[in-house]
Amino acid sequence: MKRDPVLIIALALAGLALFLPLGGASWTAAPMAFALWLAMFAASAFQTLRPLPTTRAFVLLAFAALAGGYSLLQLIEAGANGGEALALWTGLASLFFLIWRVVERAAMLGIERPGIATLIAAPLIFGIWLLYVWQVLVLGFKVPGVLLPAPSVICAALIGARETLAADFVQTFIKAVIPGFFIGGGAGFVTGLLVDHMPFLQRGLLPLGNLVSALPIVAVAPIMVMWFGFDWQSKAAVVVIMTFFPMLVNTIAGLEALGRIERDLMATYAASYGQTLSMAKLPAALPFVFNALKVNSTLALIGAIVAEFFGTPIVGMGFRISTEVGRMNISMVWATIAVAAVAGSASYGLIALAERRFTFWHPSFRKP
């Protein structure tokens, strides 16, 4: 019977780690780490020799990965660090192969029995692994916090300064991004609808719109700050300009997307323009509109934050980033980035959910 090569590599590296130097620490001085590492080794060895079916294999390997991961953190605490702690880095490599299998089992679980928990398991574990590697590398190599803080430090900053961060979030996201996003998207959509009436304008606007959406629109930020002042209005204006063109181009392309046959069908029904629009053209355009909304959801946040670099009141995410960089308080910067990333992902996710809801008929959502 063929053994799993990935797990064999993981086991070999894990065994090797027990005999390599540990820098400032030793396995005997950290009995807890030693015990956990052995538990990890035993669990992986069991799966290698007597493979379990998917679900149980996933549970066993996930347990092994947790034990191994905690063991390495204990080693670092016991004083293992730097380039001479070869066991630490070999152990990390061993965990990499173990995690590879865990993620694969999780992905297979998602295929075998789809559900929200099993579908997000694989990406979630992968994300936690990335954070873990970051933590171990920063702590293990003693990277100064000014260069790159450890995730644990960022998390502490996130909790410690939650009121400041909440105020920044309101200023940037609620006051600038959301109105700008809706005004820009709405204006783009309405312009697209109007232009659809006039084929001449449409043929002129589509190539130009494509060109404009390729332009570095962020660069108008200083001009907007000059025109609309330092407060959120100028940031909203930047967001409006950034979100307008992707929406315009996509709306025009989407309204065009309706097939000849469908158009002819509506004509044989003697449908009015309004009826054709609401019953055939708009539904056909929806996938394009959602595409624009997705693109815009990340563009809007970037636009607002960059605009704050060119002048702002003393609150806002862009302001926080630029001042805390100046004060070398990098963990606070990363905390702000984390807030922005979560806000961006959440808006993207919300739009993706709405897309599934409203364009469920689209081929890309069909079950294979």
User: What residues make contact with another protein under the rule CB under 8 A?
Assistant: 103-104, 106-108, 110, 119, 122-123, 125-127, 130, 146-148, 200-205, 207-208, 211, 214-216, 218-220, 222-223, 225-227, 298, 301-302, 305-306, 309-310, 317-318, 321-322, 325, 330, 333, 337, 340-341, 343-345, 348
Least distance (Å) between residue 243 CB and another protein = 15
- Encoding tokens for residue 242? 């950034």
Residue number with CB closer to another protein (42 or 211): 211
Nearer to another protein, 94 or 202 (CB): 202
Angle at 241 between CA 235 and CA 246, to 5 degrees: 130
Nearest to another protein of 68, 344 (CB atom): 344
DSSP secondary structure, 324-345, as one string = HHHTT-HHHHHHHHHHHHHHHH
Question: Whole-angstrom Cα distance, residue 70 to residue 89?
Answer: 14
Inter-residue contact 153 to 135 (CB < 8 Å): no
Q: Which is nearer to another protein, 218 or 271 (CB)?
A: 218
Contacts of 12 (CB under 8 A, 6+ apart): 94
Nearer to another protein, 130 or 354 (CB): 130
Q: Max CA-CA distance within the chain?
A: 86
Cβ(145)–Cβ(331) below 8 Å: yes
Rounded Cα gap, residues 13 and 198, in angstroms: 68
Residue 262 CB, nearest approach to another protein (Å): 24
Nearer to another protein, 113 or 203 (CB): 203
Give the residue with the Cβ less far from another protein, 88 or 317.
Answer: 317
* DSSP assigned state of 114: -
Residues contacting residue 222 through CB under 8 Å, at least 6 positions apart: 310
CB of 117 to another protein, least distance (A): 14
Residue 312's identity, in one-letter code, is T
Q: Say how far apart CA 296 and CA 246 lie, in whole Å.
A: 7
Conformational region of residue 271, where left means phi above 0, alpha means psi within -120 to 50, and beta covers everything else: beta
CB of 78 to another protein, least distance (A): 28
Q: How far is the CB of 261 from another protein (least distance, A)?
A: 23
* Residue 344 C-beta: closest distance to another protein, Å: 3
H helix intervals, 25-115:
31-49, 54-77, 86-112
Query: Smallest gap, in angstroms, from Cβ of residue 67 to another protein?
Result: 21
What's the closest the beta carbon of residue 21 comes to another protein, in angstroms? 27
Q: How far is the CB of 265 from another protein (least distance, A)?
A: 26
Amino acid 348 reads: Y
Contact predicate 98/64, CB 8 Å: yes
Nearer to another protein, 31 or 207 (CB): 207
Q: What angle do CA 248, 252, 255 make, to 5 degrees?
A: 135
For another protein, the closer CB: 52 or 148: 148
Residue 259: helix, strand or coil by DSSP? coil
What backbone torsions phi and psi does residue 26 show, to the nearest 5 degrees? -145, 155
